[in-house]
Amino acid sequence: MRIGKYQSSEGAAGTAVTFLLIGLGVGAALGLLLAPKSGRLIRKDLRRSYEDALETISDWTDEAKDRFDEAVEKGSDFADELRAKAEPLTDLLRKP
């Protein structure tokens, strides 16, 4: 137990969003299961929801990959620029 100032964890927002999404998913599943529909219609709805979720996750991963690739490219460009700026200095330091 820690006594003194309160320190919140840094990942609290991410954890809250995760639990919110889990709660929404469980609520949606329970709503579908308790709805007055036939088993065939419920299974069809669940399958459609599952496919939509997979598509959304696929879109998110594609977007994350694109952003990562952009960040790597910007970092590479920045490193090249720094090398170009430092080259005259290294040449100067290497001269006897």
**pLDDT tens for residues 11-67?**
566 788 888 889 998 988 888 777 777 778 878 888 998 999 999 999 999 999 999
On whether residue 37 sits in a domain, the answer given is yes
On whether residue 7 sits in a domain, the answer given is no
Contacts of 32 (CB under 8 A, 6+ apart): 42, 45, 46, 49
Q: Cα–Cα distance between 46 and 95 in angstroms, integer? A: 72
On whether residue 39 sits in a domain, the answer given is yes
pTM above 0.85, yes or no: no
On whether residue 65 sits in a domain, the answer given is yes
Contacts of 46 (CB under 8 A, 6+ apart): 29, 32
Q: Is the pLDDT of residue 71 over 90?
A: yes
On whether residue 2 sits in a domain, the answer given is no
On whether residue 20 sits in a domain, the answer given is yes
Q: How many structural domains does the chain have?
A: 1
On whether residue 66 sits in a domain, the answer given is yes
Q: Provide the domain limits for residue 75.
A: 12-94
